[in-house]
Structure 1
Amino acid sequence: MEFRFDANQEYQTDAIEAVTNLLEGQPRIELDMSLILEWGSAAVMNRLDLDEENLLENLQAVQQKNDISPDESLQYIEETIETIRGKKTIYFPNFSVEMETGTGKTYVYLRTALQLFQRYGLRKFIIVVPSVAVREGVLKTLKVTERHFRELYSNPPYRYYIYDSVNLSQVRQFALSDGLEIMVMTIDAFNKAANVIRQSTDRLMGETPLHLVQSTRPILILDEPQNMESEKSMALPLPL
């Protein structure tokens, strides 16, 4: 049995366009295979060239098109976190997309990631989920949609996987790859200070997995954020 997906559901394509249009005017990132040193680690990273005024104008245009009262300012997440260079205050915009249960939100945000890669060259995505059960559901959706997405986007170079503290080579691959990388993680991977992701390790030649991930400036997709509203959960130690 094979699932077949309709790529032309209007409410889904409208949601995808709403997100991609937030970055209208962002030039596509073309890589020359040279590695970029960000915060001390070698990585191929996302880049945002738009300023706050551009982002707000784009947000208001999207809201007006969808009959939503325009916001007067951007909403940001700001937090002081540990980085390879010590404590650093990060500051990045936070956008919320709401969809009814059963309308295919997982399909929509996965396809949005591919759309952002195709249109702007953004290539590092982390999907943060509240539980192992949701994580397994996301992985299943990635598997059953893979053929559909490859056909829809002309076979883009993309990989997806669950973060596994036993297989830290995936973290290095995430940082160094010039293709589209989608890493799925539970919120618990961040919440415990003793987690492997926060420890330097010989398996990464002394580097800390979290610092490698930070260096890519990943786009965070929070699945079911209403289930991650504790103070600790909202203070994710990653920049955009």
Structure 2
Amino acid sequence: MKFSFKIQQYQTDAVNAVVDVFKGQVRPAQDTSYFFDPGRLVPVKTKKAKNSNGYNLFQQELDEQEAKQDIILGYANAPIKLDKVQLLENIKLIQGNNNITPSKELIEGQGKCSLDIEMETGTGKTYVYIKTMFELNKQYGWNKFIIIVPSVAIREGVKKSLETMEEHFMSQYGKKARYFIYDSKNLTKIDDFAKSNEINVMIINNQAFAKSLNEEKNKEGRGGDKGALIIYSERDEFGSRKPIDVIAKTNPILIL
């Protein structure tokens, strides 16, 4: 069954309101890239012997592998170039046009600024923020987004919405979004998220920040360090990197 979506003006207005917050931001001529950290290589064999120079062959093997490794690029959202004054003026203008009491200051702490977009139940909030991602990509080139949800049920619903609306937004923007659900047992998807220069969406429920305990520290009756969450801890199976560091490097836009 194929769904047909009717574009509502109030939804378009809501999308434009978010896009206009960053009015004056210049889209970069090319995607913002950086040298991607693939993590620490795992040796094929463990060699405890040392060569004539006393150099550990285990380390030598790693160095030889790393020397042969190709340079990999990751892609990140270009930073917001607007200063606080300009951002706040943009926000006040939007608020004035919508009969909202103007903000006195920016809400910071989670990045350059935090925005609240209020819509009533049943008015298509999910559609609006998915369309907003496409518009932010079109206008400013931003392509890394993380949708944070409060439950597994909503997480699955968001994934289904992205799947259902795929063709609709393909017809409007000529591209599709790559999306996946964060899974601490399959961290390689985070690498794909970081290395792709397409629109990429990670869906994660907030329990992942509070309940993904470090399994390595929970073994053999050690009790574990309950403060060491998987997303914040160095993982052997992830090249001894912290998943949160790889994610943060992409400078993502968070949608709660």
The reply to whether TM is greater than 0.5 is yes
Structure 1 residue 45 and structure 2 residue 76: aligned? yes
Aligned to 1:217: 251
Match of 2:9 in 1: 10
Q: Which residue of 2 aligns with 1:152?
A: 172
Q: What CA distance in whole angstroms lies between the structure 2 residues aligned with 1:29 and 1:196? A: 34
Q: Where does 1:56-205 land on structure 2 (aligned, <5 Å)?
A: 56-77=88-109, 92-156=112-176, 158-192=177-211, 193-205=227-239
Distance in 2 separating the partners of 1:98 and 1:34: 34
SS in 2 for 1:151: helix
Describe the superposition over 1:15-72 as per-residue Cα deviations: whole angstroms up to 9, x where unpaired: 000000001011113436742579x997421121111011001101111111212112
TM-score by length of 1: 0.80
Structure 1 unmatched runs, 5+: 79-90, 223-240
Distance across 2 between alignment mates of 1:35 and 1:135:
30
Normalising to structure 2: TM-score of the pair? 0.75
Residues 37 and 61 (structure 1), Cα distance of their counterparts in 2 relative to 1, 3 Å cut: farther
Aligned 8 A contact 2:80 2:112 in 1: no
Equivalent pairs, count: 207
CA contact (8 A) 2:31 2:75 kept: no
For 2:139 and 2:19, the matched residues in 1 are separated by 8
Structure 2 residues without counterparts, runs of 5 or longer: 40-71, 212-226
The 1:197–1:140 alpha-carbon spacing in structure 2 relative to 1, beyond 3 Å, is: same
Letter in 1 for 2:76: M
Separation (CA, whole Å) in 2 of partners of 1:14 and 1:51:
24
Higher strand share: 1
Partner residue, 2:27: 28
**2:31, 2:141 within 8 Å by CA — same for their partners in 1?**
no
Stretches of 4+ moved more than 4 A in 1?
none
Computing the radius of gyration over CA atoms, which structure comes out larger, 1 or 2? Answer: 2
Report SS of the residue matched to 2:4.
Answer: coil
Please tell me whether the aligned partners of residues 31 and 178 of structure 1 are also in contact (alpha carbons under 8 angstroms): no
- What secondary structure does 1:92 align onto? coil
Q: CA RMSD in A?
A: 2.1
